[in-house]
Structure 1
Amino acid sequence: MTRYFTILFSALAALLMAGPAAAQVQIIQVGNLLTDAMSDPSGPATIIVRDGKIAEIRRGPASAINEPDAQLIDLSDKTVLPGLIDLHTHLSGDPGGDYWRAAIDPPEWYTLIAAKNARITARAGFTTVRDLGSRTDQVTQSLRRATADGVVAGPRIVTSARTIAIVGGHGDTSGFREDVNHVLGSGYTCTGPVECSQKVRKASKNGADLIKITATGGVLSQQGRGLEAHFTDDEMKAIVDTAHVLGLRVAAHAHGARGIEAAARAGVDTIEHGTYLDKQAADVMKANGTVLIPTLMAFKGISERLGQGVYTPVVEEKIRAVADTAKVFMGRAYRWGVPIAFGTDAGVFTHGRNAGEFALMVGQGLSNREAIASATTGAAKVLNMENQIGRIAVGFSADLIAVDGNPLDNVQILEKVDWVMVRGRVID
């Protein structure tokens, strides 16, 4: 019980300590400026921020600036680079195998957990996240507004809200008596193209920024059955076509190769995980411009908890089965030319460790520069926000982080971020 009160008070502190609205003018003195992953650090610079956006960048040592009411921020001993973007998080959840807690924890609990994790995520240097599947209705929609308004300290949030799944598949509630499963159901399962299309419209109506589907089975769900396609081709096509008509992109959780191929052929925008990707599925992804979000930290995080009684025997068996493939599949995708962007599945492992993904990506073949690009310019493009975030440029959102050293030389530097600004607000 003490642990839960500690989390509760931490979440309340995050609510109360988000800080005031962004100062009208901020002058940031930078020791080494890295404007984007494809550039090199350019040495000392001054960044002028007005109303949460980058108004001016002056190269060289700071000169006299006539802004008597400006807030001065001295980062003259730091490297400043764009805020990082994580395309796969679950802010309203913490790691563990206690799936049964959904039967007893109220929605308010998950809201407080989400507020806690939003601040932790921002302090880790991630100034924008895609949240792909919340525990209860309206949690991340409300948090999205709260972080945007400065009520809660946290990143910019793009959310799918609830996940669309097949009845009885990964993403549906299972593991209880039938009557309990029914009560705990999300209301977003579907059968047949018409009903699946309706669920997309329902998600849009309820404030989703994009659609998340579980296109295949999953590792952490209670079902022991395989990881191939869940939806029929017609169902997935109905989901994607409806989403795109509404201006929403589609992220598809997918493990098995044929399920990945089917989702990519249906036109989904991103494949999440992609564990058993093969050349045939990769070719379809390339042809359709489908981006892989590998979530390597998820596999690392769940493997760390094996043998501790955290997961059920069914889940442990699936984790062990996928372990070896998880160490190599992204490297294959990279060599086959599949576009890759950064996402971690934070929530499956402890929030705040998101930057551990960089070293894992480099370990499977990406250069430091490519890995950083995947979490900045590349991720911004996935969000259709490449003219707002992902680079340090005039007119862009003032999403900035500061570190010691040059992350292009050592990407693990990003695991210790010293200073963070989101939309012109410093995250203390």
Structure 2
Amino acid sequence: MSRYLLLAGAAALVSAPTLAATQAIIVGNLIPDAATGPTGPAVILIEDGRIKDIAKGTKNPFQADTVVDLSTKTLVPGLIDLHVHLTGDPGDDFRDEAVNPDEWGVVMGVKNAALTVKAGFTTVREAGSAQNTAFVLRRGTAEGRIVGPRIIAAGPALSIVGGHGDVTGFRTDVLTALASGYTCTGPVECAEKVRKSSKSGADVIKITATGGVLSQQGRGLEAHFTNEEMVSIANTAHSLGLKVMAHAHGARGIEAAAAAGIGSIEHGTFADEAALMVMKAKGTVLVPTLMALEGVRARLGKGIYTPTVEVKAKQALEAAGRQVTRAKAMGVTIAFGTDAGVFEHGSNGGEFALLVKAGMTPTEALASATTVAAKTLRMENEIGRIAVGYSADMVAVEENPLTNIRTLEKADWVMVRGRIVP
């Protein structure tokens, strides 16, 4: 049996071992989950992509094929981002929709999946894409054919005709050619589109419950779907064993989506007390995506966005972060999501400091991207912790993030599904 000692600084240069190999990871400080906090030095044994055993201390008791020395680093569970768009980059001209084929999204996605996992995000929820692009990326990372995180994919979002998520801003004949096929009117048609999405391979149903900042429709950020339509969407999804995630900015759209039984509110920008009360009562999760508005802020007034978008962007920026402060005060569950693609992929970790600035503790912020996010995905027995039997998804950082949350903005070493990210 051959053995190799991989120094932490050189680990990124080494090809990922086959999943049949055993690996011993020596760490200087282990944080198995946010609630437990740091437990000191440890050695973690990995076999077939899973955590097989954990020993305390720096002495390695395991006979492993490979040994990785991270004795100067802190090891945390692989981070989870519940809202990304891997197939696009920030600042793209909306007219690209009429120029680029869907296949271009796969090219962009391969690039962005690598950036994302190298930043320490080992699981992401892809929150809206063309029909098959995210599904292809999901398979590619699962089979280890491309470098990237585990992908939970929604595929195309359901929207009202002419609303956020539908194609707008073109001539009528162009709009017809670009239609996603996922707009719906009335409870019956909305139920049909949920079933279509499920049939196509969606892991989760994404809907646009309100207007959106970056779309070319200028009718504000309030509710789009009717209450009856949202109830139909939620009930149909649940009958198929799927959760629903709702893009929602305006307070009444947020309230209606939560009341309908939708699992998570994405953005939640203008959430007020009435909306948050319903979210709390229904157990609806808030995914605030604060980094998205930072990405918008950086591009505002520079001729990147159309006048229609600029108006909505200013409205959203004025309220940025308040939903987190209010949600925490009212006991609403907050889970980590960034809307990467509105800002640069690989910068997802910037969300942590924004959550802390809005009133969360570092422990709460780390939990939002690990245990809380895993539970939101119904994967709490698979990811979100460093524990025996869990997927070997782990990230090494320079410092203890519970004392310096910004250390999570740079991953020094990443493992996903037992593979070291090169």
What TM-score, normalized by structure 2, do the two folds share?
0.95
Q: 1:405 aligns to what?
A: 399
Within 2, Cα distance between the matches of 1:89 and 1:19?
25
* Alignment of structure 1 residues 218-233 onto 2, 5 Å: 218-233=212-227
Correspondence 1:185 to 2:179: yes
Within 1, Cα distance between the matches of 2:192 and 2:218?
29
Correspondence 1:25 to 2:22: yes
Within 1, Cα distance between the matches of 2:295 and 2:391?
32
Correspondence 1:35 to 2:29: no
Aligned with residue 106 of structure 1, among 98, 101, 105 = 101
Aligned with residue 90 of structure 1, among 85, 88, 112 = 85
Confirm or deny: 8 A CA contact 1:252 1:263 kept in the other structure. Answer: yes
Amino acid at match of 1:59: K
Aligned with residue 55 of structure 1, among 52, 57, 75 = 52
Within 2, Cα distance between the matches of 1:368 and 1:31?
20
Q: 1:73 aligns to what?
A: 68
Amino acid at match of 1:250: V
Correspondence 1:125 to 2:115: no
Correspondence 1:423 to 2:408: no
Q: 2:299 aligns to what SS in structure 1?
A: coil
Within 1, Cα distance between the matches of 2:40 and 2:17?
31
Amino acid at match of 1:390: G
Structure 1 gap segments, 5+ residues each: 1-16
Within 1, Cα distance between the matches of 2:384 and 2:317?
32
- The CA deviation at 1:329 is 2.3
Confirm or deny: 8 A CA contact 1:261 1:284 kept in the other structure. Answer: yes
User: How many equivalent residue pairs?
Assistant: 409
- The CA deviation at 1:18 is 8.2
Within 2, Cα distance between the matches of 1:101 and 1:379?
32
Per-residue Cα deviation, 1:32-59 (whole angstroms, up to 9, x for no partner): 1110001121221100000000000000
Q: 1:170 aligns to what?
A: 164
Q: 1:398 aligns to what SS in structure 2?
A: coil
After superposition, the Cα gap between the structure-2 partners of 1:327 and 1:65, relative to the gap in structure 1 and judged at 3 Å, is: closer
Structure 2 gap segments, 5+ residues each: 1-13
Aligned with residue 155 of structure 1, among 142, 149, 152 = 149
Aligned with residue 136 of structure 2, among 131, 139, 142 = 142
- The CA deviation at 1:235 is 0.7
Within 2, Cα distance between the matches of 1:198 and 1:86?
29
Q: 1:8 aligns to what?
A: none
Q: 1:46 aligns to what SS in structure 2?
A: strand
Q: 1:219 aligns to what SS in structure 2?
A: coil
Q: 1:115 aligns to what?
A: 110
Q: 2:323 aligns to what?
A: 329
Identity among equivalent pairs (%): 59
Q: 1:116 aligns to what SS in structure 2?
A: helix
Amino acid at match of 2:26: Q
Correspondence 1:196 to 2:190: yes
Q: 2:76 aligns to what SS in structure 1?
A: strand
Within 2, Cα distance between the matches of 1:39 and 1:64?
23
Amino acid at match of 1:55: K
Q: 1:127 aligns to what SS in structure 2?
A: strand
Q: 2:6 aligns to what?
A: none
Within 2, Cα distance between the matches of 1:113 and 1:335?
39
Per-residue Cα deviation, 1:136-186 (whole angstroms, up to 9, x for no partner): 221111111110110011000001111000000000001000110111111
Q: 1:276 aligns to what?
A: 270
Confirm or deny: 8 A CA contact 1:19 1:150 kept in the other structure. Answer: no
Q: 1:47 aligns to what SS in structure 2?
A: strand
- The CA deviation at 1:24 is 2.2
Per-residue Cα deviation, 1:202-235 (whole angstroms, up to 9, x for no partner): 0000000000000011111111112111111111
Q: 2:253 aligns to what?
A: 259
Aligned with residue 376 of structure 1, among 370, 374, 381 = 370
Per-residue Cα deviation, 1:333-389 (whole angstroms, up to 9, x for no partner): 211211110000000101011010000000010000000000000000000000000
What TM-score, normalized by structure 1, do the two folds share?
0.94
Amino acid at match of 2:411: V
Within 1, Cα distance between the matches of 2:192 and 2:289?
29
* Alignment of structure 1 residues 336-347 onto 2, 5 Å: 336-347=330-341
Confirm or deny: 8 A CA contact 2:55 2:61 kept in the other structure. Answer: no
Within 2, Cα distance between the matches of 1:60 and 1:99?
54
Q: 1:190 aligns to what SS in structure 2?
A: coil
* Alignment of structure 1 residues 283-298 onto 2, 5 Å: 283-298=277-292
- The CA deviation at 1:20 is 5.9
Q: 2:157 aligns to what SS in structure 1?
A: coil
Within 1, Cα distance between the matches of 2:332 and 2:364?
13
Q: 1:286 aligns to what SS in structure 2?
A: helix
Amino acid at match of 2:266: E
Q: 1:299 aligns to what?
A: 293
Amino acid at match of 1:358: F
Within 2, Cα distance between the matches of 1:354 and 1:229?
28
- The CA deviation at 1:259 is 0.6
Q: 1:7 aligns to what?
A: none
Confirm or deny: 8 A CA contact 1:401 1:419 kept in the other structure. Answer: yes
Within 1, Cα distance between the matches of 2:17 and 2:86?
23
Q: 2:258 aligns to what SS in structure 1?
A: helix
Q: 1:292 aligns to what SS in structure 2?
A: strand
Confirm or deny: 8 A CA contact 2:220 2:312 kept in the other structure. Answer: no
Within 2, Cα distance between the matches of 1:241 and 1:178?
33
Per-residue Cα deviation, 1:232-270 (whole angstroms, up to 9, x for no partner): 111111110000000000000001111100000000000
Q: 1:166 aligns to what SS in structure 2?
A: coil
